[in-house]
Amino acid sequence: MATVVVSDDAMIRTETLQAVLGDEAAVVSAAMDDVEDTVAAASEASGLVVDVNTPVPRVVFEECDRLQIVARAGVGVDRIDFEAAVEHDVTVTNVPDYCTEEVSTHAVSLLLAGVRRLNTYDRAIETGGWDWTDGQPIHRLTESTVGFLSFGQLAKRTAEKLAGFDCRLVAADPYVEAEAMADYGVEKVAFDELFEEADHISIHAPLTDETHHLFDREAFERMSDTAVLVNVGRGPIVDEDALLWALENDEIAAAGLDVLEDEPPENSPLAERDDVILTPHAAFYSEESLTELNEQIARGILAVFAGEQPENYVDPEADWL
């Protein structure tokens, strides 16, 4: 019987994986605190399932010669060495759509909380305040333009949910045609135009060399001084030093971040600010999303073991990797 080793994380439900895999593979959970742990755990495995905190560098593919599949329990695959995976004929999968409902709802929630200054009001009341002016200035969402960085499935669903607020919606994504955006009531703009057109920006992009620190001081200088920045993509897309500077200098009004450059953060000054709402990389979560995640992972593993290409195969030649 084949062995599938999973990193010890709450997102990975071994009982769900085992129920789908049945007699085809035994699921074993192992702590993977460093690369050496990962190599040791996967040395005899046919499948490896990893969470966002577990890198899979070249050495894993070189040392684990039975490995047929690396399954990412989630969406982002930037910590997997694709060149090494191709060289060693290992399939990589992810699950890009398991939490579309959850992330889109979370993005809207962060945007609304930022626009309505909920964090500011909550902290003021905690210290004995009760004054509606604590949140000034607040502007109508319905009279604003919300922009998206990247327009994949998560942004599309977010746009659908924002449609009821009668906002103008724009998006910057070189890989999505204007006609496809128009189907969601969204206008396509160039990246440089995003800062000029959008009153608020929601980040849904993957982390690549091109998107790393895309939101730097220059970007914040170009944003509206009443803007709310939402990030449910990847933390390093935002230069946090630049974001702190922008907030301190009133270059933007607020930020709602589900992802950070370092997770968990250590003594981040962003956590102390009333104009910043932080959530612990939790946008993906619901009980239903975790069940769907693990069932899709298991079906992908079964496909690879059967010599088939799984539905959620990640193409190593894709432009965004």
Checking if the pLDDT of 320 tops 60, the result is: no
Scan for tokens 């250590």, then name that residue: 266
Instruction: Give the amino acid at 61.
Output: F
Please pick, among 87, 263, 288, 311, the residue that the annotation labels catalytic: 263
Mean pLDDT for 172-185 is 98
Topology agreement, domain 2-98+286-305 and domain 100-278: yes
Mean pLDDT for 42-55 is 94
| 3-class secondary-structure state, position 304 | helix
| 3-class secondary-structure state, position 306 | coil
pLDDT tier at 316 (50, 70, 90 boundaries)? Answer: confident
Residue 47's beta-bridge partner residues? 4, 69
For residue range 223-274, what is the model confidence (pLDDT) as tens digits? Answer: 999 999 999 999 999 999 999 999 999 999 999 999 999 999 999 999 999 9
For residue range 260-310, what is the model confidence (pLDDT) as tens digits? Answer: 999 999 999 999 999 999 999 999 999 999 999 999 999 999 999 999 999
Is 281 one of the annotated active-site residues of the chain?
A: yes
The dihedral built from the CA positions of residue 276, 154, 299 and 319, taken in this order, carries a sign that is negative
For a pLDDT cut of 70, what percent of the chain falls above it? 98
Burial label, 286 (beta-carbon count in 10 A; 0-12, 13-18, 19+)? middle
User: How does the average pLDDT of the chain come out, rounded?
Assistant: 95
pLDDT of residue 8: 76
pLDDT of residue 296: 97
Is 273 one of the annotated active-site residues of the chain?
A: no
For residue range 52-96, what is the model confidence (pLDDT) as tens digits? Answer: 889 999 999 999 999 999 999 988 888 999 999 999 999 999 998
Please pick, among 234, 240, 251, 292, the residue that the annotation labels catalytic: 234
Residues 6+ apart with CB under 8 A from 9: 51, 53, 54, 73
Mean pLDDT for 31-42 is 95
Query: Domain 2-98+286-305 belongs to what topology?
Result: Rossmann fold (3.40.50)
Is 263 one of the annotated active-site residues of the chain?
A: yes
Scan for tokens 């030093």, then name that residue: 241
For residues 88 and 320, the model is more confident at: 88
Here the contacts of 213-222 (C-beta below 8 Å, separation 24 or greater) are 213/237, 213/238, 213/239, 213/242, 214/149, 214/238, 215/239, 215/242, 215/243, 216/242, 217/242, 217/245, 217/246, 219/195, 220/245, 220/246, 220/251, 220/252, 221/246, 221/251, 222/195, 222/196
Q: How far is CA 172 from the centre of its chain?
A: 17
pLDDT tier at 13 (50, 70, 90 boundaries)? Answer: very high
Class of CATH domain 100-278: alpha beta
Checking if the pLDDT of 43 tops 90, the result is: yes
Scan for tokens 């939790």, then name that residue: 282
pLDDT of residue 319: 53
Listed by start position, the domains of the chain span 2-98+286-305, 100-278
